[in-house]
Structure 1
């Protein structure tokens, strides 16, 4: 055995990769069969295609000297090796050298065509593939490659003609009718596809794949009756296959043939009593029939099955979330979420969606409990931490807010919102120095988010005021108002603190006036404006604003301020009555008792 022959056999045994185009090994000539076509794996198809090419190259079509034959085969094998390595330039170089020695070898033309296809040179790929087919009209791989090249160029008619010629020319190649039918379907040539599938049925008998494909065609042709007929045929020929029964039930439901859908779905349940998909079909049908109790019963039974994938349950619950809050759906959504967490106790996403449902239906405490369970299972999702922190803030649970922001910041130290709420937590806990530290650090992370930056500045304004660092407090408020001149919190707190300090009162009046113009019925903002006017000694203006505020509130601070304004206007008895009312309400200033006892204003 020659050195090349030994290498050739070795390489042939190693060829387990490379492009392949056949669906099955061609049967030996002269042995037609109506057996169902056996589908090979992608790896098997590639191996067979390469082996066929290697075997073909040894069959010379011209007289070559032994030296030229060995050289041609050597270049060819080398070319395939580079092709397998996806080094198309080197592969083409070697293959063209083999071609120069033996241009009429079909396998060499075939591999050059394949290499050009893979490297994107479709024109050369077409030319060499045509030659390969011409040189060996009995090799199915050559037709398949040429058809693929045509399809890559959207020359579908030419590709279809190649498949047709292949089936007609090459013995025992009827299984390529499936390729042709799929090509017709891709083009939207449904009648041609149906005709081709019928030819395949004549050759191989009834096949599930054909029925499925015909169903797709009939549905796209808006012929549901024919599609359903194919489904009934599938059920009849495969009585133990529940998947066909379920597909038929779904098809009946989609076409609003509810009685048949229920009948077939119940048939599926007789075959598989715990099948969740059958339950889901029934739930949908009953819902469309406005039978809500039965629909809810079926969907709960489906959710109770571990066979219904957690991701499917989450998708359904997300659809519920989009419809909430809704008194007709709130309780059902909660129950389905509870079932999901019970059936999937180790799935973080189950508790996460349960938390979302409790959030939108207004049960913050239950929502946070579910979110925390999700975090214990998977702490890597920032969005869940964010929800927990927001709920802590909304419930004013300061200890929880600080605990959870601290834990979250260990995992997500670059998330500015966490630093914001951490700072808010320290501020609410009367630790302004720690609050400033967190807020200033978070502010540096929020420079690309002007809206969040304004929230940091507003909160820093409040916190620096508590620290009596008034220049920094004023600068923070001014920065917040640069982004949003109507920032209600900044306008209110800044103007009120200026009034308490008796500084920049004209600026305070401007801001408070804008605030009540934007919010004319807000008693807190009216009280702020009134107190700025009071500090400007505009007692009549203060009285007017306070009387507006008292239409919507009985807050002790507002009542006490009203008494102060009345006192300044000389109405001492009325002022005393208002001070007494403020003390009774609770929450007045520490000076209220002295005011009442001495009937005198203290500030």
Structure 2
């Protein structure tokens, strides 16, 4: 087959409509004079553009060449030389030179089919579709027995989705050209593209009469029957495929899938089990069975089958990842959590060097609240491919949640080597130094990261809150206040900013009415949050509203046994004159941990120190 048959093609209609010489009509008998009509004013002829004039001249030259078809031997030789040159340039994809040479050959010998064919091909490749179809038609008129000329014309039509015209060309090819029945397959596919299912079936059947049963044809006929909702015939084609190919398990699996897709579950199970008898480790058969048993409500057997499928390397990593992602969409869900976790473990065991396996396993474990396991699997994924930003982000996020300072500092440093312009890693690095009680280093990281958030005000606000905390630790109170205010300017309801800012103001005894306003706003939004209740209670304490403070702290202690809250409650009780109970609360605070450095003196002296 020539190069022309390989291109998706287009349609057209063009120039070579030769007119011939006008015939002389015999002189007519004189007629009676009639009244001469009123002459209309002649319209001025439309002025042609330079491009239109050039095209008319080219068409006229071609027409003249076609009319003057008498060839001398010298002209024939010259035409052949131009043709050979044209084909050479066509192969070199120098289409301008190819067209130039071929048109010179055509001017000398316009009735040569091969020249017309090559000009059509060149026009097709350069997008000149009108000329392409017209020269292809000319080639066929000159030589109607060359199948390549039909193919080129059919492709031109097909490429423009002129399928009816293309089908007519194939019909002519099959019927008019000897030994061309092989193109019945092209014709059938063309009918399929048009959605003409009956015509496609008829053509495939005609091809089968000519060449005998063929697997590919049976498969396509099966798909046609399915589109026609003729399941019985589709299944018969499937059975024929299995009978003709008894050792091909893929046809058995296709039949099982067809049964399953049409809710004929017992048949799907029967045929899938047949596939397993042929290939006991076939993962696709296990997957079909898993789905069928699930639809029947046999969840235990469904789980068994899907685990067997996952244990096979034949079910590739991408298929397993897609299935696990379906589980991820349903998590957290106690009903499927264990199955999802087991499948994730199997995946990492069967594919021990696949970063995708560890990554998706980490995702499953994270949603199942197995954070330590998730972090470990993310790190294994990074060991094989450390280029994934999102996996690094998951790792440092888990480090921060678990308050594992050393891991957080180590992993953020590694991530920053790879992604120095990613603000999130500077943020977590600053958090790590905050955990490590190194506020100066924390400030450097946080200030560096904040510079990278100019297009992300939400992330900037997170940096501002963290900077507010760290500057407070450094006793740079003006910078701390400014950072909190910047965060609240972006989001006036930022809970962390409202809580920390109001609490630190209360510790400093500064702007207490403002602190009360912020803490009260926060408690109104989160009336059961013990941390926020403690903050509000402590602000009221600083304002000497001891009864109000007691009320808030008692609410906090319903859900919290934190040492700080207990110590605050003891202080309030002492101010209210209940020293005995105050000492009890201080003792509980010391035992719980997290109390101030003054707690031992308070207990020993049974006095309040601030």
> TM-score band, normalised by the shorter chain?
0.7 to 0.9
Q: Does the 8 A contact of 2:69 with 2:110 survive in 1?
A: no
**Partner Cα distance (1:483, 1:74) in 2:** 79
**In 1: Cα distance, 2:478 partner to 2:84 partner:** 82
2:363 aligns with 356
Query: After alignment, is 178-187 or 80-89 more displaced?
Result: 80-89
TM-score of the pair, normalised by structure 2: 0.85
Match of 2:596 among 572, 589, 596: 589
- Tell me the alpha carbon deviations over residues 285-321 of structure 1, each in whole angstroms, 9 at most, x when there is no partner: 2222222222222222222222221221222222222
Structure 2 residue 179 is the aligned partner of structure 1 residue 172: yes
Verify: 1:316 aligned to 2:301, yes or no.
no
CA–CA distance in 1 between the matches of 2:356 and 2:257? 27
Aligned match of 1:122:
129
Distance 1:365 1:577 in 2: 38
Secondary structure of 1:240's aligned partner: coil
| 3-state secondary structure, aligned to 1:590 | coil
Residue 309 of structure 2 corresponds to residue 299 of structure 1:
no
The answer to whether the 8 A contact 1:21-1:145 is kept is: no
Between the aligned partners of 1:75 and 1:251, the Cα distance in structure 2 is 58
CA distance in 1 between partners of 2:438 and 2:338 (Å): 42
Deviations 1:11-39 (A, max 9, x none): xxxxx9843259xxxxxxxxxxxxxxxxx
> Structure 1's 135 and 337: CA in aligned 2 closer, same or farther, altered over 3 A?
same
Q: Distance in 2 between the 1:410 and 1:589 partners? A: 39
Say which SS state the counterpart of residue 78 (structure 1) adopts. Answer: helix
How many residue pairs get aligned? The number is: 551
The alignment status of 1:490 with 2:497, answered yes or no, reads: yes
1:261 aligns with 268
* 1:20 aligned counterpart, secondary structure: helix
8 A contact 1:443–1:456 mirrored in 2: yes
Quick one: structure 1 residues 423 and 163, their matched pair in 2 at CA, closer, same or farther if it must change by over 3 Å?
same
Alignment correspondent of 2:166: 159
Residue from 235, 238, 253 that aligns with 1:246: 253
1:148 counterpart residue number: 155
Indicate yes or no: 2:320 matched with 1:335: no
Aligned partners of 1:276 and 1:302 also within 8 Å: yes
Q: CA deviation at 1:596?
A: 4.3
TM-score normalised to the size of structure 1? 0.86
Q: Give the drift of 1:99.
A: 1.9
What is residue 5 of structure 2 aligned with on the other side? 20
2:138 paired residue among 131, 139, 149: 131
1:405 and 1:422 in contact (8 A); partners too: yes
Structure 1 residues 588 and 337 mapped into 2: Cα distance closer, same or farther (>3 Å)?
Answer: closer
Alpha-carbon distance between aligned partners in 2 of 1:177 and 1:17, rounded to the nearest angstrom: 19
C-alpha change, 1:337 and 1:68, in structure 2 (3 Å) is same
Q: Which runs of 5+ in 1 are unaligned?
A: 1-15, 23-60
Match of 1:283 in 2: 290
Counterpart secondary structure, 1:369? helix
Q: SS of the residue aligned with 2:335?
A: coil
Are 1:234 and 2:241 counterparts?
yes
- Shift in CA distance, 392/584, structure 1 to aligned 2, threshold 3 Å: closer
The Cα shift of 1:190 comes to: 0.4
If asked which structure has higher relative contact order (CA below 8 Å, sep 6+), I would say 2
Matched-pair contact (CA < 8 Å) for 1:18–1:84: no
State whether structure 2 residue 375 is matched by structure 1 residue 390.
Answer: no
Give the CA RMSD over aligned residues.
2.3
Tell me the CA shift for residue 571 of structure 1. Answer: 5.3
2:205 corresponds in structure 1 to: 198
The answer on whether the counterparts of 1:21 and 1:141 sit within 8 Å (CA) in structure 2 is no
**Cα deviation 1:326-385 (Å, max 9, x = unaligned):** 223222222222222222211111122221221111211221222222221222222222
Q: Please identify the structure whose Cα radius of gyration is greater.
A: 2
Distance 2:272 2:577 in 1: 85
- Confirm or deny: 8 A CA contact 1:416 1:442 kept in the other structure: yes
State the alpha-carbon separation in 1 of the partners of residues 157 and 418 from structure 2: 54
Bigger Cα displacement from structure 2, 67-76 vs 431-440:
67-76
SS at 2:134 equivalent: helix
Matches within 5 A, 1:355-434: 355-434=362-441
Partner secondary structure for residue 5 of structure 2: coil
Q: Is the 8 A contact 2:362 2:375 kept in 1?
A: yes
How far 1:537 moved relative to its partner? 3.5
